[in-house]
Structure 1
């Protein structure tokens, strides 16, 4: 919350003077926006200028019916769908994703992730770590929180700096880094405070801020140490975010070009809201956010797996391909790393309920943009999709590669945990050279 100190009393316009100054109640885990900006300014990272969109597929999607189909396997394994060719020779994906197939040269599929944990939790997709790692001290920080700690804000202008880390999914965690590096979650209350109350003009806010500065001068004169500062540069930057409305505008798609909305599949079916998150992610990057996390669908398909795929894969294909095309045509794709994964894969053998159960011995990871080499499938599972047969990849290898592209040296940077011990960002530090 952006709070400029003042006494609480009522005026004829119905706005209390204390309420008048509590503009911008942003949900940063109970911390004020000025505190967040101050912490990010102290990060001192050397960013490459790249951003991240991290898409979480809640429930654990089947690899066998999405990106690692086995048309030659026995019927009890291969399922009901066929692979189709993409725009990249040799790269095939499920027939239910024709739009995504048209941009096959812009993404890569890692088909041989070998060390997923059997955990219904977003922590692996957010950090590369198990939810149980350092659980007693808060757990491991997600990628957005790491970016907040090391890199800070992407843009600092007179109008302010957007938060580094924004979460549309509700699934990310800052771990032992604490609430200072939590993601901003624009729920309804927080979104309402991203703009000025309509009854409060910018001029009135400026007058009040100037008054407080004057009062602060009196306080400083009384304080020999000079530490009583009511409005510092970070508070002013926070006020800039609120008064400019850039973040609120990015989250509001009502004025977006109808043709763009149609391209994303917004307004078509029950997944419209999820599809809209992809468009919001693009708009938020343009507003200066570094890392946007979102989720799509529900993929815990113990039963009726194929019915679920028929409902969910087409809208995912529409939204994801639109995001890639949109970023490419605006020149931002090379500077945006799109990550997409779930908790684990699912059983290669179809169960008696036409479903697939949890399977952590193999799974996929989707990655696009970021100036990487794309149009390829990395790794290969055996003919039944049971385990990696060629080029096994650990989940943290992927995160290490992403951090490398962001300009974060995970080989040398450590964070001090609450017990005073240094902790590496990832433990398995091997770059995926096929991508970079």
Structure 2
């Protein structure tokens, strides 16, 4: 299948694809990408770290304004060096993954706005115009791949560095993987014979070439050239069809389907990075009853992703970052909900990530504590951790910190030994 056919089918199936302006595949250097799959899992709406990896239990049953009502300070659990809240599915997740897990607490996003919070957490800056780290990694290491950056939502601005494959319906990818089947799960349900499919492809090719010959406007010619030159590659898409589970997970947790597609696309050699997205965290009312189940679904999705990577033999070639817009207030509002709070956490796991480690901290009211920039030990005269510090470390880990793309979008901040 060629990219133009891929685009047509994708549009009909609800998968939107976009391309960096002015870049043609013929001009892009071929990249033999052998690095890890970068997966960024977004808890959309602003999660509550105090119900997860930065626990704050109530001091007593009659405490006037507890940070959390659902558990006490003496109930907090520990796995290795990592403390976590004793709610939802936390215990199963942390007991299983603590040896590989790095938690960064006390991150100041410097905003209570959803848009700027997600931008800061996933690009490392409040400034508009910077790409998501997923886009920077994909653009720097494999922009010629057909689906180098696969996104299911969250902050996925590319700043023109890489083509974006936005998957609004993960089940649609089965249809894309098997374009000549009326039923993507039935290998015998051909729409056209092989010879007919080849004639259709030839006619489409001739039509594009004819349009190119007649068209005189440079911008339109560039767009047409992208359709001709930016080919997905038949072998690569065939590998995707072979790697894609059939059927995809049909549970009520969308992260599982997103994870399956990301792992399959990586194994097919067409994806470098992926955004996974789960909403429902903006709990201004009835916080505990609504938010904790969403956290459990989030952790089950991340666990599924790691299990899928293990099952497919790429456990040592995946890096996962989990985060959210910001945190939730250290007190409940009149609707028993929690509002926006600029202090948050991130969790990292995978290749190159030192496990059983916690960086940063907050006080009993979830206010950030400062750290020594050399040792990361708590220090009243130290600095406040921000998303930029995590991003500078991840850029170095990915090996994109010295690429031209990174120099175009510098991050102003200190280099901290977050990853050792």
**TM-score higher than 0.5:** yes
Which residue among 85, 96, 104 is the counterpart of 1:94?
85
> Contact 2:2/2:231 (CA < 8 Å) preserved in 1?
no
Contact 2:150–2:262 (Cα < 8 Å) also in 1: no
**Alignment-derived partner of residue 146 in structure 1:** 136
Alignment equivalent of 1:77, drawn from 60, 63, 66:
66
How far did 1:112 drift?
1.9
For 1:103 and 1:295, locate their aligned partners in 2 and report how far apart those are by CA, in whole Å.
21
Contact 1:73 1:384 in 2 (8 A): no
- Whether 1:169 aligns to 2:153 is yes
| Of 293-302 and 382-391, the range deviating more from structure 2 | 382-391
Q: Are 2:48 and 1:62 aligned? A: yes
Secondary structure at the residue paired with 1:77? coil
Aligned to 1:409: 401
How far apart are the structure 2 equivalents of 1:400 and 1:277? Answer: 27
TM-aligned CA deviation for residue 168 of structure 1: 1.4
Q: Give the Å deviation of 1:77.
A: 2.9
Q: Equivalents in 2 of 1:29, 1:218: separation in Å?
A: 24
TM-score (norm 2): 0.74
CA deviations on 1:116-163 (whole Å, 9 max, x unpaired) are: 422212322331222xx24xxxx211123212332125xx8xxxx441
Shift of 1:245: 4.1
Could you give the per-residue CA deviations for residues 401-423 of structure 1, whole angstroms, max 9, x where no partner exists? 1111111125x6456xxxxxx73
SS at match of 1:388: coil
3-state SS of paired residue (1:279): helix
- Does the 8 A contact of 2:19 with 2:163 survive in 1? no
Answer whether contact 1:36 1:181 (CA < 8 A) is retained: no
Q: Matched residue of 2:337: which SS? A: coil
- Whether contact under 8 Å (1:109, 1:367) holds in the other structure is yes
Q: Is 1:428 the counterpart of 2:413 in the alignment?
A: yes
Counterpart in 1 of 2:264? 283
Whether the 8 Å contact between 2:148 and 2:163 is mirrored in structure 1 is: no
1:303·1:354 contact (CA, 8 Å) conserved in 2?
A: yes
Where in structure 2 are the equivalents of 1:248-327 lying within 5 Å?
253-255=245-247, 267=251, 271-288=252-269, 289-327=271-309
Separation in 2, partners of 1:23, 1:36: 21
Contact 1:91 1:376 in 2 (8 A): yes
1:51 and 2:37 correspond: yes
**Displacement of 1:312 after TM fit?**
1.5
Question: Cα gap change, 1:24/1:317 in structure 2, threshold over 3 Å: closer, same or farther?
Answer: closer
> Whole-Å Cα distance in 1 between the matches of residues 279 and 146 of structure 2?
28
Matches within 5 A, 1:106-121: 106-121=100-115
- Aligned match for 1:129, one of 118, 125, 129: 125
Aligned to 2:346: 365
Do 1:125 and 1:342's aligned partners in 2 also have CA atoms closer than 8 Å?
yes
Question: Alpha-carbon deviations, 1:301-351, whole Å to 9, x = none?
Answer: 222111113322222222222322332454423321101111111111222
Aligned partners of 1:238 and 1:195: how far apart in 2?
14
- Three-state SS of the structure 2 residue aligned to 1:355 is coil
Report SS of the residue matched to 1:302: coil
For structure 2, list consecutive stretches of 5 or more residues without a partner in the other structure: 182-190, 213-220, 377-383
Structure 2 counterparts to residues 153-192 of structure 1, below 5 A: 153=143, 161-169=145-153, 171-175=155-159, 177=160, 181-187=162-168, 191=173, 192=175
Q: Which residue of 2 aligns with 1:14?
A: none
Quote the RMSD (CA, aligned, Å): 4.1
Please give the alpha-carbon distance, in whole angstroms, between the structure 1 residues aligned to 2:7 and 2:276: 32
Q: Does the C-alpha gap of structure 1 residues 3 and 276 become closer, same or farther in structure 2, counting only changes over 3 Å?
A: closer
Q: What is the number of equivalent residue pairs in this alignment?
A: 375
Structure 1, unmatched stretches of 5+, are 5-18, 221-226, 416-421
Cα distance in 2 for partners of 1:366, 1:339 equals 6
Q: What SS does the aligned partner of 2:166 have? A: coil
8 Å CA contact retained: 1:45, 1:408: no
**Structure 1 residue 105 and structure 2 residue 99: aligned?**
yes
